[in-house]
A and B are shown apart, each in its own frame.
Chain A
């Protein structure tokens, strides 16, 4: 592999010719990647830039900060706040539960088939999102759902009488965890696999207890990829709309649902405010990803 990439570089260096030949050869050089770049610019970068610029313009096309300032109105702030809360709660709960499951199946001494079965199932469950997931949770924890009914008839616990509602913050969080945990498992298992056996042996040789080994070796090594994945899960939940929309209709006012209503029917009566909401979403997921990349480069130092 090293050999191959070396020769790649050598050739690449050679094919950057000097003088007249350069002007002629450059276009063919880029021809192979041209469809990719044209596609990315037309359908990914320009539409996003269009919205981001629109967020700073008024109807006459002049530069303004009014749209951004208008985000401060209570209903929009509330939408961002509940979105951030749901995303953060589902990311944190999903991350810790996923980490526990990953450690259990990799290091817990469980039979091998459990590990492979869990990984396969995680691949499926992390992609089982959107509208069908909402249906599944309505059938489970809705007013007539199996879990609700069994808790009520067998254990005498009426969760709806105790204030639980599937169409609420905790209902949505509990539903999001269904794809957050498996995503965490899929991403973090390779990181735990990357913990070298030698480190455990070295720690034991130096007289470390199991607790010390975990505290001073395992946690510091896993920490960056763990935090990175938390942020990825956060962004994952923040942009999601289908599950929430199918679950709660528009009764839970999260940002993507607000933006959805705005695109459909201009509920805010200001097209440029819609751009500003989209801009705010990009800023939040963008910031999250900057941190993600930072944590990932840190974790790659240890885990090859």
Chain B
């Protein structure tokens, strides 16, 4: 097995090189703005740019609404399927996989044609409507991840016993979902939420085609017009993705492992 370990190290080091060289190069490039000396000028310019702040804020708000919409759609459905309708699980799982099959650009193309100003549901006629449509589009992109996260969370709790106990105590469906089921799958929901955030924050295709002042189109615009700022933005985006993934990892430590735990 000695030879095996040698090759394992070779593969690992080659892989690490491929993944770290671009990161190092990007950091280095982002600091080259001042001639002859490394500096954080590019970061200062980017972070001080009013458009950066506005578009970033826009995307954060869009991400928050996407998460809320995703939770409202997915949690009741996943709960109800576990409780009462296990027979439709394959259909729902198939639908949640569709956003991985249909490219985002095709989905948003469909929106533009179906919900234009002259259609029965003119989402695109107003700014707020277009914003809503962007959130809706993001929710479809996040659907596969949100559904899987929530479904995994529900698997670890005894949905039936919790529901029956709540019903015996006189709870209605709204109370059961918001005060019994949701807190129990909160960690799973949060994992899905951070993943959604990571996907949505720099999303380009949908925001650009719907003409929204989001972070993704801003990034693209800076990339087309500036030299050093894009590298700084890439590092900022990497740190955001890293942060989301770390939070998911930290959360997973608090997640219950099985439904048989005594507490």
Contacts and interface: CB of A to CB of B under 8 A. Distances in A.
Interface of A: 1, 4-5, 7-9, 11-12, 15, 29-30, 32-33, 35-36, 39-40, 43-48, 50-51, 54, 97, 100-101, 103-105, 107-110, 114, 118, 120-121, 123-125, 127-128, 130-140, 144-147, 177-178, 181-182, 232, 235-236, 238-242, 245-246, 249, 256, 259-260, 263-264, 274, 278, 281-282, 285-286, 289
A281 B77 CA distance: 30
B234 A139 contact: yes
Interface string B100-124: 1111111111111110000000000
Residue of A46, A104, A105 most packed against chain B (CB within 10 A): A104
A254 B159 CA distance: 47
Nearest to B147: A36
B263 interface: no
Contacts of B238: 124, 128, 132, 136
B8 A135 contact: no
A242 B205 contact: yes
Interface stretch (B50-58, B59-67, B82-90, B182-190): B82-90
B111 A260 contact: no
A147 B233 CA distance: 19
8 closest residue pairs by CB, A with B: A108-B8, A47-B110, A239-B103, A32-B80, A146-B25, A36-B77, A139-B29, A132-B237
B66 to A, nearest CB: 12
A271 B134 CA distance: 22
B140 A44 contact: yes
Interface of B: 1, 4-5, 7-9, 11-12, 15, 18-19, 21-26, 28-30, 72-74, 76-77, 79-88, 92, 95, 97-114, 136-137, 139-140, 143, 155, 158-160, 173, 195, 198-199, 202-205, 208-209, 216, 219-220, 223-224, 230-231, 233-234, 237-238, 241-242, 244-246, 248-249, 259
Given A4-B259, A32-B80, A131 B139 contact: no
A263 B110 CA distance: 10
A147 B155 CA distance: 47
B84 A11 contact: yes
A260 B143 CA distance: 23
Contact of B234 (A51, A132, A239, A241): A132
Contacts of A246: 204, 219-220, 223-224
A100 B198 CA distance: 27
15 contacts: A1-B259, A5-B86, A32-B84, A47-B114, A48-B98, A104-B11, A108-B8, A118-B15, A120-B249, A124-B241, A147-B25, A235-B101, A242-B216, A289-B97, A289-B100
A6 to B, nearest CB: 10
A39 B245 CA distance: 28
B86 A101 contact: no
B56 to A, nearest CB: 13
A281 B106 contact: yes
B178 to A, nearest CB: 13
A187 to B, nearest CB: 12
A274 B139 CA distance: 24
Contact of A44 (B8, B76, B77, B98): B98
Contact of B25 (A5, A11, A45, A139): A139
A289 B97 CA distance: 10
B82 A44 contact: no
Contacts of A133: 234
Residue of A32, A97, A139 most packed against chain B (CB within 10 A): A139
